[in-house]
Structure 1
Amino acid sequence: MARKSLVSVVENGLLERIVDGVYAIGASLPSEAELATDFDVSRLTVREAMRSLSTQGVIEVVSGVGSSVRPPERWASLDALLRYRSVHGDGDVAVQLVAVRRMFEAEAAALAAERITDADLEALAACIDAMRAASDAGDVDAFVAGDLRFHDLIMRRSDNVFLATLFAPLTRVLADRRAETSRVPQIQRNALVEHERVLDALRARDAVAARAAMEGHMQQTLDDLRAYVLNDR
């Protein structure tokens, strides 16, 4: 495996341990030598991985002293922060994620309405069909896969590379959140209705209607989150 790939493996492994609480906030990390042995890589590979995490603000490296985990509010990496907050966040974090989705996805839907092709519409309809079949079969994973693909297609069809790139770090967190919420049958039923409304607006090539439909979908998502998930907690 190329060293660059090994660096990524170590970097992701360290971040995962931080997110999981193996290395607590403010705690010192093991030495480079210990981590090299633990990950079965060279010390140089560990050093590069730690340098990357330091650049992201996740850890602080002090020459001659060692490394420690910085508070999440000081992290500069959106991906790292999302991963941490998805595990350690409360209901407010879940609500904030929906608010972020609303901002990104409503505009993506409006842009997509002006660029959508017949092939795209068929693909979106196929996603809804897959979600419906998965719901009938009680297959939550398949339901989530269809849901994520539906939104990914719209984001891509916005043809805005910045919008799609900024939204990308949310993908991992959204998959985890969808798996949690989509276990509720009523949430599945509501989601199917809202996806159909978004698709209808896109079929009409109506940017205003597409934006409104996606905002309505996000509001329903928020309402369902509060009614069926957060209240249960």
Structure 2
Amino acid sequence: MDEIFGKIGTAQTLSQKIERRIEEAIRQKKLLVGTKLPSERELCEMFAVSRTALREALRRLSARGLIQIKKGSGMFVSELKIEDAIESLNLYYDLSFDSDLISQIIEVRRVFEPEIARIAASNRTDEDLTALNKNITDLADCDPDNTQLEADIINKFHLNVAKATGNKVMIISMEPIYSLLPRMRNLIYANVDGEKDFTIKAHRAIFEAIRDKNGEQAYQEMAGQIDRTLEIYTQYLK
């Protein structure tokens, strides 16, 4: 481990250089998931730095989820999970939520979701179809006064379309966006009559295209639904 924990010197911010050195080792897989790091005392000696600088670097690495500090056991390289990446984006979108973000989200959905539906039509499994069909049934059966539950079900439908692609990158990219759909729907559709009926019909059309492995039709149906969202957003909020 000498090449990883060699002396740094005293130039610039020591804690940042320590953090960068350990992060690079993790990125380059010189330190694998589960690897136990040397003790604080050993790291101070290897880096030739003070304990204060080291602890600040370790604190930031821990906050970013790159290492896990277990009291009484030591420090270990963490396993980065999809949920961690999604949670960070969820926080960003929540803090940035406004009418401008809604407009940008709709633009992103218009670019990506039709293609996601096309890929889902090729890769979907029977389990995917079962989940999508249940979402539509749940939406149809939902109490019309329970707009929050309706929005949650719509969120699940679009997320399940993304999951049907079998592409983890698509899920990571789109799930935080879908998490905003309940808030967007409550804001945009609060006073739009007949929107639930339209949404159910649109979801059924998307489902049927995916079920029939008709990628082009799935693309068109998804694009049509998002165009409708853009139309209503432009009419009511701009």
- The counterpart of 1:202, out of the listed 181, 189, 210, is 210
Q: Say whether 1:188 aligns with 2:199.
A: no
Which structure carries more helix by proportion?
Answer: 1
Q: Does 1:127 align with 2:131?
A: no
CA displacement, residues 69-116 of structure 1 (integer Å, 9 cap, x when unaligned) = xxxxxxxx7545422321xx33x4322111111223212111110122
For the structure 1 residues 182 and 143, does the alpha-carbon distance in structure 2 shift closer, same or farther, using more than 3 Å as the test?
farther
Residue 183 of structure 1: CA displacement? 3.0
Cα pair 2:158 2:178 within 8 Å, conserved: no
Shift of the 159–170 alpha-carbon distance from structure 1 to 2, 3 Å rule, reads same
Matched, 1:118 2:126: yes
For the structure 1 residues 169 and 52, does the alpha-carbon distance in structure 2 shift closer, same or farther, using more than 3 Å as the test? farther
Q: Normalized against structure 1, the TM-score is what?
A: 0.59
Determine whether 1:82 maps to 2:96: no
Given candidates 165, 169, 179, the residue that maps to 1:162 is: 169
Q: Distance in 2 between matches of 1:128 and 1:144?
A: 12
Preserved CA contact (<8 Å) 2:155 2:179: no
Partner of 2:182: 175
Q: CA deviation at 1:160?
A: 0.9
1:142 maps to which of 131, 136, 149: 149
The answer as to 2:222 corresponding to 1:214 is yes
- Secondary structure of 1:158's counterpart equals coil
DSSP 3-state at the match of 2:180: helix
Give 1:168 deviation, angstroms. Answer: 2.7
1:4 maps to which residue?
none
Q: State the one-letter code of the partner of 1:110.
A: R
Note if contact 1:113-1:210 (Cα within 8 Å) is conserved in structure 2: yes
CA contact (8 A) 1:112 1:158 kept: yes
Counterpart CA distance in 1 for 2:124 and 2:159 is: 13
Query: Matches of 1:51 and 1:118 in 2, distance apart?
Result: 40
Root-mean-square deviation (CA, aligned residues, Å) is: 2.8
CA displacement at 1:207 relative to structure 2 = 1.0
SS at match of 1:144: helix
Quote the sequence identity (%).
Answer: 23
- Asked if the contact 1:130/1:142 (under 8 Å) is kept, the reply is no
Larger Rg: 2
- Matches of 2:187 and 2:225, distance apart in 1: 17
By how many angstroms is 1:148 displaced?
1.0
Structure 1 residue 146: deviation in Å?
Answer: 1.3
Pair 1:50–1:192, CA change in 2 (3 A): same
Deviation at 1:163, TM superposition (A): 1.2
What is the aligned counterpart of 1:151 among 158, 163, 174? 158
Runs (5+) with no aligned partner, structure 2: 1-54, 65-87
Unaligned runs of 5+ residues in structure 1 are: 1-43, 54-76
Change beyond 3 A, Cα 1:137–1:158: same
Q: What TM-score results when the alignment is normalised by the length of structure 2?
A: 0.58
